[in-house]
Structure 1
Amino acid sequence: MTNDIAIKVENLSKVYKLYNAPIDRLKEALNPFKKKYHKDFYALNGISFEVKKGDCVGIVGRNGAGKSTLLKIITGVLTPTGGRVTVNGRVSALLELGAGFNPEYTGLENIYFQGNLMGFSKLEMDARVQNILEFADIGDFIHQPVKSYSSGMFARLAFSVAINVEPEILIVDEALSTGDFMFQFKCLQKIKEFRRKGVTILFVSHSAQSIIEYCNYAVFLYQGGIHSESYDVKKLIYTYEEYIRTNKSEIKGNDIIKTPMKYDEYDFLTEPNQELAEHRIGTHAAILREVYFIQDGKEFSENIVLEAGLVTKLKIIILSKEALQQTVVGMSIRNISGLAIWGDNTLNSIGSMFELKEGVNVLEFEFNLSLKAGEYVYLAGLADFSTGNRIELDQRWPMKKITVISNRNMSEGFIFAPLRYLSGLSQ
């Protein structure tokens, strides 16, 4: 491996044995004829690539594509089934929340524990502790056992330790999504600083815009293999987003769907979305059954990735147990810190309240998606005014997660309103 290469992955594979039942593992171990009771699952299947020193490499792919497995093998947490990884430089990794921390130790004890694992003496860690404490900013909790920490505290301390041990190679999994908005901002600024210093970075994120903004190289993993890799990060990300939009048969979930128009009693669902920690209240005499975001003729209800600046259509499906004469739907989009960026309601758009019939009701709207690239949540509420009083029918906070990408980065603010050059400057 040449001196300009930080990481070299050669024909790397990781195979797991999958059993239909726990007893099958014992049957296989005791079978005198070596009969197999398992199926081989290839988390990684013969992948090869190189990372040059100073590159910031973004790794994208759907859940189960092999991203975390790859990083764990590179850092030595997992042993590959086949192939090899060669690493040239000191590695600092943030793979999973609290990975490598002893839950019984205090935060301060874990700082020294992590330093010892990386080969630093106590004296060397003494010189780094103050910087670690200042960046983590968890106050007196540093003297408490980490088992008492919130997920945000874990993320703060783990990232702070990872960046303050002078890494030559920094590996970051999706762990940054756990911290609060300002902590994420501070971490991403630190990644920018490391890039300027020439630190090699491997960065896994479900945020397409973060990959575009911070990485100069990207690898698209698909079903344990490499679908594509390129220094044209923006083009690869658009390829990735287009791929998951248009290959319905090869992906999980309903990324591209047609609006269902037939329902039975099992479709009248009122359970909140646990994945989004949705708060849902109301009488549920009528419910917001589903919402679809539509761009370029494609409908999305999950894994919603939209492009800034485009006209976006909304299709809202409402199920009602009875006819209601005076109803209103309100909605908003909020950023990761909970700030409302956009909002409107049907009273404004229609000019009056509307009637719901018993059964299926479909409302369609459109608006300009003038949001800066980033991660957002969509909230919606349905209320009835037929009795003269406001009765909450179905409030869903939040109802959906939305990712907005753009073909250019806006320098400040929340709104996608790019300047268009007209005249006056020589070029």
Structure 2
Amino acid sequence: MSSDIVIKVENLNKCYQIYDQPRDRLKQFILPGVQRLLGYPSKNFYQEFWAVRDVSFDVRKGEAVGIIGRNGSGKSTLLQMITGTLSPTSGTVSTQGRIAALLELGSGFNPSFTGRENVYLNGALLGFTRGQIDEKFDAIAGFADIGLHLDQPVKTYSSGMMLRLAFAVQVQVEPDILIIDEALAVGDALFQKRCFQRIEKLLSNGTTLLFVSHDQESVRTLTNRAVFLKKGKVAAYGASSDVVLEYRKQLHLDESAYFSDVAKQLSDKAAKTSVAASGLVVGTSVLNAGEGLPVATSRSDQLSFGDGEAKILKVETLDLDGVAATVFYPGDMIRIKVTCQSAINTDKLNVGVRIRNKEGVKIYSWGTLNQDIAERAGNSGGEIFWSRQATAGEIFEVELEMQCSLGVNLYEIQGSISYEDTPDYAAQRILHWVDEASFFQVLMRREEYFFGGVSDLKMRARW
């Protein structure tokens, strides 16, 4: 293994034997051997479930790699094999350096020991002497910040306190490889912020990170590369932004398949009453459920998905006078014009945008439904876009307007048109989503007006 590769996974497989009944385990233990002894073909009394199938990838020193996938896709099983707590059925895992892992919450803790005793126990498991842990103990206790509970049995801890102590131990010992499996999800927002700051510091010091999370933005911004697991197999592997996009597409396909099944059942139950009576045609997706990801013919095809009953034709940025523009300054008015076309007769539409900076951080998301919600709450009597009727083949435009309060950066606009069954984002179905629909740049006239950061908070000084 190359000296700069600290984790190498080659053709990794994990198979579990699933038994229908407990007595089948006894049958499997005895009967196949007897059958072979008597010259009969042996019979298995179990079904095979492959939790991980033919997974291969490598991670270099100091690299951050995310692992994403739906529940049951094999993420935790993969991590357990990498850490050595689970043996693979076949394939190999090679690692270099000390591994610290946050897998199942509280794993590695003795519930009857106090927090203090568990700190020394975990330190010993990681290869540290008592003297070395003594030197780090104050830093561990300070980061965990659980006060007097440190001398109470761990079994009395809440899940948040357990996380604080476990994370504090793992990061303060400065591992060569840090593995985190969804554990941070139970922490409060302030502690999560401290955790991410600590992770960033470890990465800058050369620690390698394997990070599992359902939070797509965290994976996109914290990691360089990502692995998308689907039913135990690698569905995508590469740059985090590209892999997260493939994951979002798959989530959309799965959701479409689910709602298509529900719609079919309701339709059959109602003697094949057309769902189109409400103005929404179900099941005419451009991306038909179950067919997998579409074959992309261009860069733009790879960046869009949706059910196809309406689509975004174009997204443009305009200045205050309605002239096309791509460069703006703080205080300027930015108009985002979204041109759409409906393929069906329908209402309950929502046209929206999401704005991200070049680092991939979501800055803002907003749509016509947000304005509708405010109109309804204020009872102002203004026009509600959600109630607007669109006809088949109609092309229409929506302008979203904002005053620029953004910092210097390059910004991406993602456009979307969705069907909202209720006017509150509680039942959304994406009809068309387009990444990289448009771009604009924000510059600053430093001699006239200046601020730092991602957004202008319009501070004022008094004295």
TM-score for the superposition, normalised by structure 2: 0.60
C-alpha deviation, 1:228, in angstroms: 1.6
Q: Of residues 91, 94, 117 in structure 2, which corresponds to 1:83? A: 91
C-alpha deviation, 1:119, in angstroms: 1.4
Q: Of residues 90, 103, 115 in structure 2, which corresponds to 1:107? A: 115
Count of paired positions: 321
Deviations 1:137-160 (A, max 9, x none): 000000110000000001100100
- 2-structure distance, mates of 1:78, 1:39: 20
Report the structure, 1 or 2, having the larger strand content.
Answer: 1
Q: Is the partner of 2:119 in helix, strand or coil?
A: helix
- 2-structure distance, mates of 1:167, 1:345: 53
Q: Which residue of 2 aligns with 1:170?
A: 178
Q: Which residue of 2 aligns with 1:358?
A: none
- 2-structure distance, mates of 1:259, 1:311: 32
- 2-structure distance, mates of 1:98, 1:244: 30
Give the 3 Å change call, closer, same or farther, for CA 35–112 of structure 1 in structure 2.
same
Give the 3 Å change call, closer, same or farther, for CA 171–297 of structure 1 in structure 2.
closer
Q: Which residue of 2 aligns with 1:96?
A: 104
Q: Which residue of 1 aligns with 2:168?
A: 160
Q: Of residues 308, 312, 327 in structure 1, which corresponds to 2:354? A: 308
Q: Of residues 172, 197, 207 in structure 1, which corresponds to 2:215? A: 207
Confirm or deny: 8 A CA contact 1:105 1:146 kept in the other structure. yes
Give the 3 Å change call, closer, same or farther, for CA 255–206 of structure 1 in structure 2.
farther
Return the letter of the residue paired with 1:172.
I
Q: Which residue of 1 aligns with 2:202?
A: 194
C-alpha deviation, 1:93, in angstroms: 0.6
Q: Which residue of 2 aligns with 1:303?
A: none
TM-score for the superposition, normalised by structure 1: 0.65
C-alpha deviation, 1:191, in angstroms: 1.0
Give the 3 Å change call, closer, same or farther, for CA 296–14 of structure 1 in structure 2.
closer
Q: Of residues 219, 236, 248 in structure 2, which corresponds to 1:228? A: 236
**What is the CA RMSD across the aligned residues, in angstroms?**
4.2
C-alpha deviation, 1:35, in angstroms: 2.2
Return the letter of the residue paired with 2:51.
A
Give the 3 Å change call, closer, same or farther, for CA 118–311 of structure 1 in structure 2.
closer
Deviations 1:277-301 (A, max 9, x none): xxxxxxxxxxxxxxxxxx97559xx
Q: Which residue of 2 aligns with 1:22?
A: 22
- 1-structure distance, mates of 2:435, 2:441: 14
- Counterparts in 2 of 1:262-341, with a 5 A limit? 298=307, 308-309=354-355, 312=367
Deviations 1:209-241 (A, max 9, x none): 0011110111111111111211x2212211211
Give the 3 Å change call, closer, same or farther, for CA 298–154 of structure 1 in structure 2.
farther
Confirm or deny: 8 A CA contact 1:12 1:44 kept in the other structure. yes
Identity of aligned residues (%): 40
Q: Of residues 135, 138, 146 in structure 1, which corresponds to 2:146? A: 138
Q: Which residue of 2 aligns with 1:38?
A: 46
C-alpha deviation, 1:47, in angstroms: 1.1
Q: Is the partner of 2:50 in helix, strand or coil?
A: strand
- 2-structure distance, mates of 1:43, 1:72: 12
Give the 3 Å change call, closer, same or farther, for CA 211–89 of structure 1 in structure 2.
same
Give the 3 Å change call, closer, same or farther, for CA 2–347 of structure 1 in structure 2.
closer
C-alpha deviation, 1:246, in angstroms: 2.3
Return the letter of the residue paired with 1:129.
F
Return the letter of the residue paired with 2:200.
K
Confirm or deny: 8 A CA contact 2:8 2:58 kept in the other structure. yes
Q: Of residues 361, 381, 406 in structure 2, which corresponds to 1:351? A: 381
- 2-structure distance, mates of 1:406, 1:99: 42
Confirm or deny: 8 A CA contact 2:353 2:366 kept in the other structure. no
Confirm or deny: 8 A CA contact 1:245 1:256 kept in the other structure. no
Deviations 1:172-219 (A, max 9, x none): 110000111111111111111111111100000100100111101111
Deviations 1:252-304 (A, max 9, x none): x559976997799xxxxxxxxxxxxxxxxxxxxxxxxxxxxxx97559xxxxx
Does residue 61 of the first structure (1) align with residue 80 of the second (2)?
A: no
Q: Of residues 132, 135, 147 in structure 1, which corresponds to 2:155? A: 147
- 2-structure distance, mates of 1:260, 1:136: 51
Confirm or deny: 8 A CA contact 1:311 1:369 kept in the other structure. no
Give the 3 Å change call, closer, same or farther, for CA 244–197 of structure 1 in structure 2.
same
Q: Which residue of 2 aligns with 1:335?
A: none
C-alpha deviation, 1:406, in angstroms: 11
Q: Of residues 223, 229, 246 in structure 1, which corresponds to 2:253? A: 246
Return the letter of the residue paired with 1:198.
G
- 2-structure distance, mates of 1:104, 1:369: 59
- 2-structure distance, mates of 1:369, 1:64: 42
Deviations 1:381-403 (A, max 9, x none): x9xxxxxxxxxxxxx9x9799xx
Q: Which residue of 2 aligns with 1:421?
A: 442
C-alpha deviation, 1:308, in angstroms: 2.4
* Structure 1 stretches lacking a partner, 5+ long: 265-294, 300-305, 315-330, 333-341, 353-362, 374-381, 383-395, 409-417
Return the letter of the residue paired with 1:47.
V
Q: Is the partner of 1:155 in helix, strand or coil?
A: helix
Report the structure, 1 or 2, having the larger helix content.
Answer: 2
Q: Which residue of 1 aligns with 2:460?
A: none
